[in-house]
Amino acid sequence: MLDALPDAIAMFDSSGMLQGCNRAMRNLLGMPELVNHTNDFLDFFQRLENGLQADLAYLLPGISQAIYRAHHPFYCMHRDGEGERRRALEFHSYAAPAPATATLLMIRDVSAQMQKERDRADCFAVAAHEIRSPLAAISGYIELLQLESTPSAWAGKIYMKLREKVRGVDVLLDDLTRLNRIEYEGVGSREWRTSDLRAVLRLSLRSFNEQRHRICLDLPSHNMWARVDVVPLLVALRNALENALKYSAADTVVTLRLRPGQTGWACIDVLDQGPGIDPLYKDKVFDKFYRLPGQQVQGSGLGLSILRSIVQHHGGRVYFKDHPGAGAHLVMELVLLPSASYIP
């Protein structure tokens, strides 16, 4: 039955030994027949990289931790190639519920689906461009009206509201365009670099000069190296900090902290002293356009959705952790560079 599925599937036991795989996975591995219990995870992973002709080293920590039950489930979208060779692969790892110890790895080719999404994103980009033109004209006319006459206090308030609405639509278009680019193109600035996460967090504070006194930066004394797409990751950090500052009182401090997580992972914490988030909504707040019930603070409802897409773009995950007392505790988990000797 598994051989009839188009997705490539492999099964591992709790010690990382390959128990079996379907025809699609055997084709990827270049192994027409598979002898059970003879292939460990590292051997499998090398064969998989060769079969897919891709560098998948950044996926190794997440998949291996799902197999060894340290951290599961695992999901990541891998993209590579250009033009007609552009490819998108979904990696899923699922651990069977106890007392079973098996873990399933599934690889699904979603290149055709992503191409449709890219086409839709292109249509949106054209529409967004067309919307910006009348927005710019409206903004210009507002300025002209103010220059032509001395507005009354009442008219001045109207002009101010109009400018705020125009600015709000412009920000919304920026957010939607960025979200489309991340989700459907699968790339940010293409500036993937080996970076010390401490330096990235320091860099993220440059856009908060006026509010820098409200941010407490807590960094470890040792380097924490990761392969990151720098510009999108800075956008994610900015969104997380803006969200925390926006929902906190002006006289409170927001903490940005970097710390080691589970083996092979780094955790970036953003802690605020605001009203916090009800546990019922801790997952829902990452949905597009979602606003907490009774929320009065202005926003597009896209900041956390963009943040989640960027973290997933890095093979990580983001969530709100239970936090005693007032405030919210946002956690971004990113994969650290692996040190396994077999990785080229």
The predicted-structure confidence for 116-151, as pLDDT tens digits, reads as follows 766 766 666 666 666 777 777 777 777 777 776 666
The helix or strand, by DSSP H or E, that contains position 218, with its residue range, turns out to be strand 215-218
**Predicted local distance difference test score (pLDDT) of residue 121:** 65
**Predicted local distance difference test score (pLDDT) of residue 319:** 93
Residue 35 burial (C-beta neighbours within 10 Å; 0-12, 13-18, 19+): exposed
Q: Which two tokens stand for residue 266?
A: 């780094």
The predicted-structure confidence for 7-23, as pLDDT tens digits, reads as follows 999 988 888 888 888 88
Asked if residues 123 and 157 have their Cβ atoms less than 8 Å apart, the reply is no
Three-class SS of residue 296?
A: coil
Q: Which two tokens stand for residue 14?
A: 């709790």
Residue 257 pairs with which residues in a beta bridge?
218, 269
How does residue 241 score in pLDDT terms, banded at 50, 70 and 90? very high
- What is the number of other CB atoms lying within 10 angstroms of the CB of residue 12? 27
**Predicted local distance difference test score (pLDDT) of residue 340:** 33
DSSP tag of 17:
B
SS3 content of the chain, % helix, strand, coil (to 5): 45, 20, 30
- Output b/e per residue, 180-217; b: 16+ Cβ within 10 A: bbbbbebebeeeeeebbbbebbeebbeebeeeeebbee
Nearest in space to 42 (alpha carbons), one of 81, 72, 12: 12
Is the pLDDT at 113 greater than 90? The verdict is no
Is the pLDDT at 199 greater than 90? The verdict is yes
The predicted-structure confidence for 269-300, as pLDDT tens digits, reads as follows 999 988 888 888 788 888 877 776 656 556 56
Distance between CA atoms of residues 313 and 79, nearest Å: 9
Task: For 25-109, list the strands marked E by DSSP.
Answer: 74-80, 87-95, 103-109
Alpha-carbon dihedral angle through residues 300, 280, 94, 49, given to the nearest 10 degrees: 20
Distance between CA atoms of residues 14 and 246, nearest Å: 45
Three-class SS of residue 246?
A: helix
